[in-house]
Amino acid sequence: MENADILVVGTGAAGLFNALQLPEKYKVLVITKSEADQADSFLAQGGMCMLLDDDDYDSYFEDTMKAGHYENNKESVDIMIRSSQHIAQELVDYGVDFQRDENGNFEFTREGAHSENRILFHEDLTGQEITSKLLARARERKNITIRENTTLVDIICDEKANVCKGGIIRNADGTLEEVRTQAVVLATGGIGGLFQFSTNYRHITGDALAIAMRHHIEVEHINYIQIHPTTLYTTKPGRSFLISESVRGEGAYLYNKDGERFVNELLPRDVVSQAICKQMEKDGRPYVELSVTHLDPDFVRNRFPNIYRQCLKEGYDMTKEPIPVTPGQHYFMGGIKVNSDSETSMDGLYAAGETSCNGVHGRNRLASNSLLESLVFAERAAKKMAAEWAAEGLTENADRKETATEPKEDEWKLLAKRYDIRKEDYQDMEEYAERCKESIWDAIRKEDEYESNHKNTKCG
């Protein structure tokens, strides 16, 4: 058994930022089911939104609400927008290199459904720039331990008292381990791995969501799944390569098979995706074409170096010819229901990032709000924990131990008796993963069925 003060599950932007924002007197264990740099946050291309000034507030607020079909939680939207400048400065302090002009001021780009250029960026690798710097800073902290290829398979919770007390993790060697903590932060990302075509890593399969539902922790809008309009069309298996919305923000056009534009490229993602699907059906082919050939080739290569290189690998020079694109699953707006401090319905259990649902995105996420939202509410979770523990006089986990071994048989009997946790439930990971996936799909289908019977109560 290993004891820590906080168990953070996930090494994306939310998990890492949360760990870094916690006071260094607390011992933080961060786990990830793959390599630490294999989180979806590393894949984010476009950028991160930031409020330009006070005059931009109403516009930014309306853009976010309109994209979300006005189903957004207004309090969450307000918190996110008003925190954005502070978060941007925090990232700069951690070493993040956002694009700047010759005078050293931030440069901003624009994406679909934004009325202003308010998106900070680093080439077309903004997520990698942000998350890699957070990972580097986390690895420098003596109080933070990062364990890779380690999967959370369950939480330890007293359901009668409604309190989370830690987790059960499966280590890289297959051994199971009990981790006792004061708090658990779920930051495992979305559900893209459940789909055949997704821009997400294949191992991002909604683990935390399945665990939450198993323990009757509140979830919300789990059928709110975003389809991105433009992934690079290919017949090869594996993760779909995203063609960032910022490409359209910089002026790219969408063409049908006759070389005609058929949609306003800067409309919200769900609207553009629907238009592309209709056009593909009309054209009788599984893609439409995205073109930047009318833009300056040097600008394209410098602004989108990663996308340009990937297209070349697939046999397309995007400066000279249109590229085939098709919609693909991209983001999860629903998730584990949390309040404005990222607290779930269970005491001691927090959720942040894509695995959570604080209502900020509504029914459809506005481009480049994901990184910002993850960071804002991950920080709020850390500050909430620190404030509560300071008020309680807690300095560290009183039961902390430095051992890290599989629970003994008598400990498993105790876990089964107290928390209904049984070792045999996690022995076959393939079977365990399938159970988790099916529970999520069942919940999504039930939500879809409910909505179809209550269409008059929903927008969009």
Catalytic residues: 269
CA–CA distance, 28 with 289 (Å, rounded to integer):
47
Angle at 429 between CA 209 and CA 18, to 5 degrees: 40
Rg (CA), the chain: 22
Separation in Å, CA 142 to CA 24, 29, 44 = 8, 11, 28
Angle at 268 between CA 262 and CA 271, to 5 degrees: 50
CA–CA distance, 442 with 177 (Å, rounded to integer):
29
CA–CA distance, 31 with 196 (Å, rounded to integer):
26
- Name which of 95, 126, 121 is nearest 106 in CA terms: 121
Query: Do 341 and 351 touch, CB atoms closer than 8 A?
Result: no
- Name which of 247, 238, 223, 231 is nearest 363 in CA terms: 223
CA–CA distance, 51 with 46 (Å, rounded to integer):
16
- Name which of 275, 279, 259, 257 is nearest 267 in CA terms: 275
Query: Do 134 and 17 touch, CB atoms closer than 8 A?
Result: yes
Token pair belonging to 114:
């934004």
HSE, side-chain direction, 13 A CA sphere, residue 300: 22
Q: Which residues of 380-391 are buried (b: 16+ CB within 10 A; e: fewer)?
A: bbbbbbbeebee
CA–CA distance, 229 with 275 (Å, rounded to integer):
9
CA–CA distance, 369 with 227 (Å, rounded to integer):
15
CA–CA distance, 169 with 162 (Å, rounded to integer):
20
Angle at 25 between CA 177 and CA 188, to 5 degrees: 45
CA–CA distance, 73 with 226 (Å, rounded to integer):
18
- Residue 210 makes CB contacts below 8 A (sequence gap 6+) with 435, 436, 437, 439, 440
- Name which of 147, 133, 134, 158 is nearest 27 in CA terms: 147
